[in-house]
Chains A and B, each alone.
Chain A
């Protein structure tokens, strides 16, 4: 196991290098000028060509791309992701300060997705080819197809505008605003973010359960006279969950990415919104730092998932793979 972890960690290094180079190259060819955004171009302010060039020089934008990339890379190795062009804040500190909000949102979304998908997937499997199965498949298809931004707005219109049950935007902090406020603010964005995951998980649990329910040990359990509930929960579900755990791991990374849209709609101050603002303002250090950290998280989670899978199923031996 230890060898495997070390091997995977070493494999992550070239992956991160390639990703960082791709980000850098893409930003280099992306139109838009951070100097213009930083200095502002309102009617209240004009800038001379000298000022423009001076700002460009200060930001290092007049240097060759490879030199800038090298500087970014050496900084990143020391844990220094640079400073924001716009706010002048340390990029790493800013990302770290925003991370809890995004993690809370993502974990809550996963939780909601599981609460929906596990019963629905099991129901579809044990009532295979029934109306319940059709309904679950239909809902899953809808869930996969609906865009998150649209679903988010529908939730806001229904629960905030019409019913006045939940706030339409913002975050609440449990220690200052109370747990009730915290959960009330969390429900809608988490539900919106969970939609896609709930749909894919429902389909996955259904097919996984169908597979497991046809296995000999399940038939044997039934022949022993065990109640159906005990068979499903005690024998079938545990084994059916292994592929689900794997998918949740990779979906976690996707949810972090999907949080960009959700956080913008719900004014949720996490790293997704930070990414959106940074892109709009061409805040290159923030975009690079944000993407790199997200990639690192994604790789780490994948590694953790592999380890958890091995722990869940002793048949999986990582060292031999």
Chain B
């Protein structure tokens, strides 16, 4: 009896604690999250079902502050709450956002024609129920606040580096004047969320309760659990969903299982091992990410060994990249997850020129690699490793400690050892890897990135790559000039030619070894509509190009 009483006490304690737990919304527990009956609050006719979509994401939320957000998980949510002047599609083409259209008066002056039917979201402590239009004056103030050091915006440097002035022509027309011609000025603008200036003026905390003018309104964020958004009925286009839930599921295997269990509608990634089981379900499918993510093997140019272009070339020639890709991404469902990269620009973007790259990027030729190394005075020692003046040809290859980079690092080091280069694979925890790259504590490394419109600058420009995560420390003045020309060329065809030339210079010099473009696979329930056209969450679920909904 006493034992029973104790157990009962424990149970009651648990119940009490549960009742004390922070209250947060949760998608229908365990059951498919499909649709739920709308309540009287929504004012919809009885019987109509709400359209709810649950997105499973492995990314935790770092911040919901529109000025500070840079991480993928944050931007997935925020791009639905906030508008930006322009957005871009899967091919990197700019599409209307808050600006309906735009033109350039000259190489420095951009004129934007803004929507006249966009309002700051209501139902919050900032605007209450008052419908306040978003105007050109707001936009000017937003960019000034972004450039103000006091506001600590993550976009401050990018915006202020080339913005000369902003002129409001009328309520729906605004001019941006740049210091120098900037072909991708729109890319800079696309990264700035239009937040209400009133929030900064009044000290309203946008981190705790984001308020924008986008298609979905913030409802709740249960830390490390989920973010809930609801339809913004005042948005110019009627959003296709009544509610969007971003469910944070850090384990990617569990993410795939949740998709199969109909707990989520969309999984931000499906690992190669899970593809077959996801595709085995009739109501599920996978779609490749809108554009390829570039992965490469980089060299530290501060290291004497890699200052020799012949050594870099020999290393590149010794690696069978195609076989490594096949081994890394093999899966039972035979889904192509990655394609060989011969150059550094994602194939969907302006400047990608696979044919030209193939001519300059070293082909797999282990015998040629050996000959090149021997021509530098190296000879094989008793251990089968090349050495010169008693020094073995050896270096470490750092990579993130998760796949595919880790697996690729191991394969590459094995390949190099086969021809007599003692390459030691060193999978490294992500935060440590970042600080090692910045501090120059590296020899060679496998890294991803540069998969944006201005990625070439981030990768290779001797000045503009500083402060980024790539840190090749590569200096090639000819390439710098070419890149500066390309990014100042407004004509797309001419710019494509210049970017192609620039990338060929880098590839010919073996500035890095391009490995592959990864097309991450989204797991999707077939009831989700309009996502396949532009499979990515960097742009809002409802915009001028798409309006995602569920059946």
Interface residues of A, Cβ cutoff 8 Å to B = 31-33, 36-37, 39-49, 51-52, 86-88, 94, 97-98, 100-101, 103-104, 107-108, 110-111, 114, 153, 156-157, 160-161, 164, 166-178, 180-182, 184-185, 237-238, 264-267, 269, 273-274, 276-277, 280-282
Contacts and interface: CB of A to CB of B under 8 A. Distances in A.
Given A176-B24, A269-B223, A45 B15 contact: no
Nearest to A267: B249
A94 B223 CA distance: 9
A185 B30 contact: yes
B183 interface: no
B466 interface: yes
Which of A31, A104, A169, A264 gathers most chain B CB within 10 Å? Answer: A169
B467 A100 contact: no
A44 B154 CA distance: 9
Contacts of A181: 26, 29-30
A201 to B, nearest CB: 14
Given A46-B466, A48-B157, A277 B60 contact: yes
B195 to A, nearest CB: 17
B431 A167 contact: no
Nearest to B1: A233
B29 A46 contact: no
B261 A168 contact: yes
Interface of B: 2-3, 7, 10-11, 13-15, 17-27, 29-30, 60, 62-63, 70-72, 154-155, 157-158, 191, 207, 222-226, 247-251, 253-254, 257-258, 260-261, 263, 277, 429-432, 434-436, 438, 449-452, 454-455, 458, 464-469
Contacts of B465: 46
A38 B432 CA distance: 14
A183 to B, nearest CB: 9
Nearest to B187: A44
A32 to B, nearest CB: 4
A43 B29 contact: no
Given A168-B257, A282-B431, A104 B24 contact: no
B76 to A, nearest CB: 13
B36 to A, nearest CB: 12
A111 B71 contact: no
Interface centre among B226, B430, B435 (most CB of A within 10 A): B435
Given A156-B257, A161-B260, A168-B254, A174 B19 contact: yes
Contacts of B277: 161
Contact of A267 (B17, B30, B248, B436): B248
A174 B14 CA distance: 11
26 contacts: A31-B435, A36-B434, A37-B431, A40-B71, A41-B434, A42-B449, A44-B191, A48-B467, A88-B207, A107-B13, A111-B11, A166-B30, A168-B263, A170-B26, A170-B247, A177-B29, A181-B26, A185-B29, A264-B251, A265-B254, A267-B251, A269-B224, A269-B225, A274-B224, A277-B60, A281-B431
A188 B164 CA distance: 58
Contacts, number: 206
A156 B225 contact: no
A98 B13 contact: no
A54 to B, nearest CB: 9
A182 B435 CA distance: 42
A312 to B, nearest CB: 11
Contacts of A281: 62, 431
A86 B467 contact: no
Contact of B455 (A43, A87, A176, A237): A43
User: Which of B7, B277, B434, B465: most chain A CB closer than 10 A?
Assistant: B434
Contact of A86 (B62, B261, B449): B62
B26 A266 contact: no
Closest 10 CB pairs of A and B: A181-B29, A40-B70, A32-B431, A41-B469, A167-B30, A33-B435, A46-B467, A269-B224, A31-B432, A269-B225
A161 B257 contact: yes
B260 A33 contact: no
Contacts of B454: 43
Most B CB contacts (10 A, CB to CB) among A40, A114, A277 go to: A40
A114 B6 CA distance: 12
Contacts of B22: 97, 100, 173
Contact of A107 (B17, B223, B431): B17
Contacts of A42: 70-72, 449, 469
A103 B253 CA distance: 26
A111 B7 contact: yes
Contacts of B2: 238
A277 B224 contact: yes
Nearest to B25: A176
Contacts of A265: 251, 254
Given A44-B70, A167-B263, A37 B468 contact: no
B157 A47 contact: yes
Given A88-B207, A104-B14, A184-B30, 19 more contacts: A36-B431, A42-B449, A43-B449, A44-B191, A46-B158, A46-B458, A48-B466, A156-B254, A157-B257, A168-B263, A169-B247, A170-B263, A171-B225, A173-B18, A173-B22, A175-B23, A182-B29, A267-B251, A274-B224
A98 B455 CA distance: 39
B29 A167 contact: yes
Contacts of B224: 98, 267, 269, 273-274, 277
Contacts of A273: 224, 250
A99 to B, nearest CB: 9
B18 A174 contact: yes
A188 to B, nearest CB: 10
Contacts of A175: 19, 23
* Max chain A C-beta neighbours (<10 A), residue from B18, B22, B27, B464: B18
Nearest to A180: B29
Given A46-B466, A52-B467, A104-B21, A169 B254 contact: yes
Contacts of B434: 32-33, 36-37, 41
A307 B263 CA distance: 45
A167 B259 CA distance: 11
Contacts of B155: 45
A178 B29 CA distance: 9
A175 to B, nearest CB: 6
Contacts of A88: 63, 207
A184 B263 CA distance: 13
A97 B23 CA distance: 10
A49 B467 contact: yes
